[in-house]
Amino acid sequence: MEKARKFSVKGFSTILLIGIVIIGLVAGALTGYLLGSLPLSEKIKVLENELIALRQQTANLRTQTIVNNTYIFGGNISLSDLYEMVKDSVVIVRGVIVQYDVFRRPYYNQVQGSGFIYNFSGQMVVITNYHVVGGAINLTITFINGNGYAATVLGLDPYVDLAVLSINAPQHEFKPLEVVSSSTLKVGDIAVAVGNPYGLAGSMSIGIVSALGRTITEEETGGYPIANVIQTTAPLNPGNSGGPLLNLQGQVVGVTTAIVSDSQGLGFAIPSNTILREIASLVTMGYYDKHPWLGAAGVDMTYEIAQIMGVNVTYGWLITQVVSGGPAANACLRDGTKRVLIAGQYVTVGGDIIIAINGIRITGLDALSAYIEENTTPGQTINLTIMRNNQELTIPLTLGARP
């Protein structure tokens, strides 16, 4: 991951000094002119007004940059105060994975990630990633003060890379974070990640929300996409997984989950809406089984695909395969008929193109997955708008649950 651009106290101080000098020069020139043409009493008054204005402009520059070397954002929110507010809530999650060599002899690898404390109806739990604890034994939780405790798994959902743990720790250790809806997030919002990259406990990084509604696929999802993922420029590294992504109020808006190798400032977080939707099932039942299923595979439409197919839409989701007996098959959706080479890749073309769900425009897999995951449940009937043979059709489809 590329190191995020650093906020430099020295740089801000230089800008502040330059600003003060410029203001001083302008004020001096104006004052000199006025002093040469006004009576003494009016000259003094002009000087006093200029001094007041200069002080106000200097104060404004300071509040926009640095106050006492503390980074300040809108609403007088200090990053150092934010860190102090949340640091005791973020924990290190450790475990051991047992693997076997070709002779079936066991060997052990330690896994490590992050997590945070959450209060679910009075029960204190730790939220983290599935890929941090899935298949691990001897799980432990360590607070930033160094106190460690044994942990057990309460619930797992590999389809969204979430896990919930319980720990037997004294009540005074628990300082839960508030989880709020991620629906209010906008691209450009400040995003703060706190976790334990490379085991460096309690590390904080900052960036912005660089995109919303992304779709990612991890090894643990069995090929199913994780929908509506938050993309952020906040630097994430191995060990950050499972930690909170926070807004400037210290509220959880996501769970950091993945980085793209060799990328430049590109990380992902599971949206907090997913936590709010699943937490009750994960804690009480140990799993979540309400992921809706379309029963089809496909690719995003492009201009090149549209040219090959001879259709007049360049957006949407092209169905390349329909699962026999699945919801798409039962709705008589059609899959591709032939494979062609397009821009260096083979694509199965000729199938239906989904361009809207319940009247909401679908531009590709990101939009399709996000809408289905956020707005539907298994057994619900949705109306698909499709393009078939250059004709627009509306087809009802009853969603299933993932097999």
- pLDDT tens, position by position, for the chain (403 residues)? 333 333 344 454 555 555 555 655 555 555 555 555 556 566 566 666 766 766 665 555 444 444 444 454 555 678 999 999 999 999 999 999 998 888 888 888 899 999 999 999 999 999 999 999 999 999 999 999 999 999 999 999 999 999 999 999 999 999 999 999 999 999 999 999 999 998 889 999 999 999 999 988 766 666 788 889 999 999 898 899 999 999 999 999 999 997 766 666 789 999 999 999 999 999 999 999 999 999 999 999 999 999 999 999 999 999 999 999 999 999 999 999 999 999 888 999 999 999 999 999 999 999 999 999 999 999 999 999 999 999 999 999 999 998 8
- Which positions are annotated as active-site residues? 131, 161, 241
**Whole-prediction pTM value?**
0.76
φ/ψ of 365, rounded to 5, equals -60, -40
DSSP annotation string for 161-197: TEEEEEE---GGG--PPPB--GGG--TT-EEEEEE-G
What is the dotted CATH code of the domain comprising 85-173?
2.40.10.10
Q: Can you identify the CATH homologous superfamily of domain 182-284?
A: Trypsin-like serine proteases (2.40.10.10)
| 27 CA to centre of own chain | 47
- How does pLDDT run across 203-224, given as a tens digit for each residue? 999 999 999 999 887 666 667 8
Q: Which residues contact 270 (CB under 8 A, 6 or more apart)?
A: 129, 160, 161, 162, 226, 229, 230, 254, 255, 257
The verdict on domain 292-401 having CATH code 2.30.42.10 is yes
Domain ranges across the chain: 9-67, 85-173, 182-284, 292-401
H or E segment and range at residue 85: helix 79-86
Instruction: Please return the burial class of 41, using the count of CB atoms within 10 Å of its CB with bins 0-12, 13-18 and 19+.
Output: exposed
For 367, which DSSP code? H
DSSP annotation string for 230-259: EEE-S---TT-TTPEEE-TTS-EEEEEEEE
Q: Collapsing DSSP states into helix, strand and coil, what is residue 272?
A: helix
371: left (phi over 0), alpha (psi -120 to 50) or beta: alpha
Please state, as a whole number, how many other Cβ atoms lie within 10 Å of the Cβ of residue 188. Answer: 9
Decide if 85-173 and 182-284 have a common fold.
yes
Q: What is the pLDDT of residue 99?
A: 87
Asked if 147 and 169 touch (Cβ cutoff 8 Å), the reply is yes
H or E segment and range at residue 381: strand 381-388
- How does pLDDT run across 249-264, given as a tens digit for each residue? 999 999 999 776 666 6
Structure tokens at 381: 């009937």
What is the residue type of 70? T
| 386 CA to centre of own chain | 30
Angle at 370 between CA 366 and CA 376, to 5 degrees: 145
Q: Which residues contact 135 (CB under 8 A, 6 or more apart)?
A: 97
